[in-house]
Each structure stands twice: as C-alpha cells, then as structure tokens.
Amino acid sequence: MGIPTPLNWPVLRQFREGDPLGRGRAVTSRATRETSNRTVTADRVAQSVCPYCAVGCGQRVFVKDEKVVQIEGDPDSPISRGRLCPKGSASEQLVNSPTRVTQVLYRRPGGTEWEVLDRDTAIDMVADRFLESRRNGWQDHDEHGRPLRRTMGVAALGGATLDNEENYLIKKLFTAAGAVQIENQARI
C-alpha cells in the first residue's frame, strides 16, 4: 500500500480501483499482489500423464532450471480436459518430496537391513532371476507330444498406474518370453 495516506482509505480505494463492493483489487493484500504463479516463471512445459491411476489424466509439467516446479491438468487431454483429482493435483509433491526414494534398495534373503544397489546391478539381478525361472518352468510339449512352447515359471501382474504404452510393452515382452499368465489390476 506504500506510505499511509487518506487516499488509501479502503472505501476510497474501492471506488478508485473500480471495486465498489470491496471483493477484488481493493482488498487484495500486498503479499498477494507480489505473489506470482509458478507457472508464469517456468522455462518450459512438458506434457505428461498422471502416474497414479488407470484414468490417465493429462498433465502439464512446468519446469524451471531443469526442476519440476508445478504440475497442472492439461486442457489438451481428451480424457481429463484440464482436470486433475486431488491426488493428481499433488503430483508435484511426489516429484519433489524430500522423502522420495531415489535409489534402488535391496534386502537380501535373511537380511535385516536394506542395501543400496546401483541400477545396472539391480537390472542384471532381475534379468538373471527372470531367465532362470523361465528356464525352470519351461514346457516344450504336453503328454501327447503336442507343442506348448510356454513357461509356467513367470507371470506378469501390472498395477493400474501403468499406462497403455507400458502395458503394451509388458504384454509383448512376457508373451515373447512364453508366459501365459499376464494380468493387469484394471482387469481384476
């Protein structure tokens, strides 16, 4: 408001600033006037999909200095048309939470503590186990000699946070590997 002056008397301000009912500019605090939306100062905006549930609402991710500063609904999305539920609206907190786990944690059989693994080691361990289970559960023929060429050793169960593209790739990978039990939470 600056230096106190009778001209800043609220009722005068209401009329001077075109806000006769005192519900807008005339009663806006200085702190509010000096606050700007995080979306205004962003360097760029990326389009994305909410990771929380199978609805797959469109999101606009606002980035400043290579850091996510805000996530809002994407009006271009034919699914959500700019809307997000409270969970989707809070996605920025998912990205920037100081308690977010950003390392691969492993608790070995019989272990009582989590160990930090580098990502390549963890991926190799998953791949080794996958291949071994596939091999151990492989069925080449049935009892009549008819070809099966499948494995009963691996199965896929996806969560609803997976999107269409991820499910497509998972289905392709597991079917190619010979798995027959391939499910998604949205179908259960």
Q: Which residues sit at the interface with ligand SF4, rule CB under 6 A?
A: 50, 52-53, 55-57, 80, 84-85, 87-88
Closest contact distance (angstroms) between CB of 80 and ligand SF4 is 6
Query: For ligand SF4, which is the closer residue by CB, 88 or 153?
Result: 88
Kindly tell me which of 80 and 151 has the beta carbon lying closer to ligand SF4: 80
Question: In this structure, how many other beta carbons lie within 10 angstroms of the beta carbon of residue 70?
Answer: 18
Determine the residue with CB nearest ligand SF4: 88
Residue closer to ligand SF4, measured from CB, 20 or 75: 75
By beta-carbon proximity to ligand SF4, the closer residue of 57 and 162 is 57
At closest approach, how far in Å is the CB of 158 from ligand SF4? Answer: 15
Distance CA 177, CA 138 (A): 10
How many Cα atoms sit within 13 Å of 9 on the Cβ side?
A: 4
Q: Which of 91, 73, 90 is nearest to 82 (CA)?
A: 73
Nearer to ligand SF4, 70 or 151 (CB): 70
Task: Give the nearest distance from C-beta 73 to ligand SF4 in angstroms.
Answer: 8
Reduce the DSSP state of residue 100 to 3 states and report it. coil
What CA–CA distance (Å, rounded) separates 1 from 42? 28
Least separation in angstroms between CB 106 and ligand SF4: 29
Q: CB 3: neighbour CB atoms within 10 A?
A: 6
3 state SS of 46: strand
- What is the nearest approach in angstroms of ligand SF4 to the Cβ of residue 37? 20
Q: Six-digit token pair at 128?
A: 């080794």
Residue 128 forms beta bridges with which residues?
none
